[in-house]
Amino acid sequence: MAVALAVSTIIGSGLLGLPGIAISATSPVDALAGWAVAIALSVPLMLVFLELTRTTGSAGGLATYVGMALGPDARTATAVLLALTFALCIPLGTIMGAAYLAAVLGVGEGAKYPIAAAVIAVATFVNVLGVRSSSAVNALSVAALVALVALVVALNPGHAREGLAMGADLASGSLSPSSWAGLWTATAILFWAFLGWENLSFSGEDLKGSQRSVVAVFVVAFVIVTGLYVLLAAVASGAAAAGLPVDRVAGLLALLPSERGGRAVDALIAVVVVANVNAWVFAASRLWFGMGRDGVFPRGLARLNGAGAPATSLVVLAAIYVGVVAIVGAGLLPLEAGLMLANQNFVVVYMGAVLCLLMFGRGAWRKALAAVALASCGVFVAGFGAMLLVPLAVLVAVAGVARLRRRAAEAAGPA
């Protein structure tokens, strides 16, 4: 079940939407090269999250580790930035998945927003029922993912061969990306596809009974995730090179037998979308639960129901997610801009956690791993520019407020 949670967290709306978005923003060649770079750079980050999950074993996840290394003020700032980023990225990912559901249902483009809200409601309800129900959805999702990718590849063997040939030409140097800017843009967009490893750090308490298998969970999940992405990226790039209209959020539908696809495909897509949102909702609720229990957020968010689920956190977050969906639907926040903002926030948090591992991790292995992961993050950071001021300003402001409050409480003494 832990592997299913990991795979469902990483893959979902990203699997369905990102191949088309990356091709639309750059080109089939740049997108394929971007997939290769994103996969390579994600390896050290995945290993860092593995180490942090083993180290913390807490619902606070990355924020807990930063606090262990840099103190409570840094922990508070990290938790708040992560909380804000989850509140942004979960509804954005749900909208990407809902675009597919709208297409297979044959309804208008605007219907993806109410569909996204409905998916959020379903995922929240499943999580309120407890870990067992959530795990069952995740296990079903892995089977649906494998079946969906296998179907796309089986129906488009020629495009798969063309995409793999393009990949071989890129590896040999006989084919090159159009420019560094194009390659970076594709990589920065596709980084979204590998968000989620950090989510398992927030699930540390739920995985406590399987700590000896944490390494296996991460490694097996990474192999499954990477394999699925490689196959789908090859098919998408090969199809785009052949002129098929896959360069959009729901572009993979062009690779199915008909515009709407069959009932089986529709069902697979629905399961993948709901399960991915379910896994992200699970992780975010654990973060808010952990911070509520520690007094960083209101303590009412740490209230558990009879099934052991942080029901209050789940409901509050669901309201926030639906609000963000409404903002995007009203045109106040473009989807692509939201994706880039969420990605850079995660990169900044990742760099903070990696720096902590580099400075305070014990052993040459951990320090070497942190150094490589820091270099990987640097590749993404290089292109964000002034946008980086947003998450940095949040971190500095929240840490400053937390420090003032802590000093005031210390000066007041015990009640």
Q: Is the pLDDT of residue 243 over 80?
A: yes
Q: Could you give the percent of the chain with pLDDT greater than 70?
A: 82
Residue 286 contacts residue 95 (beta carbons within 8 Å): no
Q: Could you give the percent of the chain with pLDDT greater than 90?
A: 14
Of 19-28, 252-261, 389-398, the least confident: 252-261
- What's the mean pLDDT in 266-287? 79
Taken in order 122, 95, 4, 66, the sign of the CA dihedral is negative
Gap between the Cα atoms of 250 and 267, Å rounded: 15
Token pair for 398: 């929240």
Residue 395 Cα distances to 64, 79, 149, 300, 400, angstroms: 15, 9, 39, 24, 8
Q: What is the separation of C-alpha 329 from the centre of its chain, rounded to a whole number of angstroms? A: 21
Q: Is the pLDDT of residue 211 over 60?
A: no
Q: Looking at per-residue confidence, does 189 or 202 come out higher?
A: 189
- What's the mean pLDDT in 148-153? 82
Of 65-74, 246-255, 328-337, the least confident: 246-255
Q: How confident is the model at residue 119 (pLDDT cuts 50, 70, 90)?
A: very high
Q: How confident is the model at residue 33 (pLDDT cuts 50, 70, 90)?
A: very high
Euclidean distance between the first and final Cα of the chain, in Å? 45
Gap between the Cα atoms of 338 and 355, Å rounded: 26
What's the pLDDT score for residue 91? 94
Residue 195 Cα distances to 87, 367, 375, angstroms: 14, 22, 17
Q: Is the pLDDT of residue 116 over 80?
A: yes
CATH number corresponding to 2-410:
1.20.1740.10
Token pair 């390494």 is at which residue?
215
What's the pLDDT score for residue 135? 66
Helical spans, DSSP H, in 59-213: 61-70, 72-105, 112-128, 131-155, 157-172, 180-190, 199-202
- What's the mean pLDDT in 340-357? 81
- What's the mean pLDDT in 101-126? 88
Of 35-39, 86-90, 100-104, the least confident: 100-104
Q: Is the pLDDT of residue 249 over 70?
A: no
Q: How confident is the model at residue 327 (pLDDT cuts 50, 70, 90)?
A: very high
Of 81-85, 164-168, 411-415, the least confident: 411-415
What's the pLDDT score for residue 138? 64
What's the pLDDT score for residue 314? 93
Gap between the Cα atoms of 133 and 131, Å rounded: 6
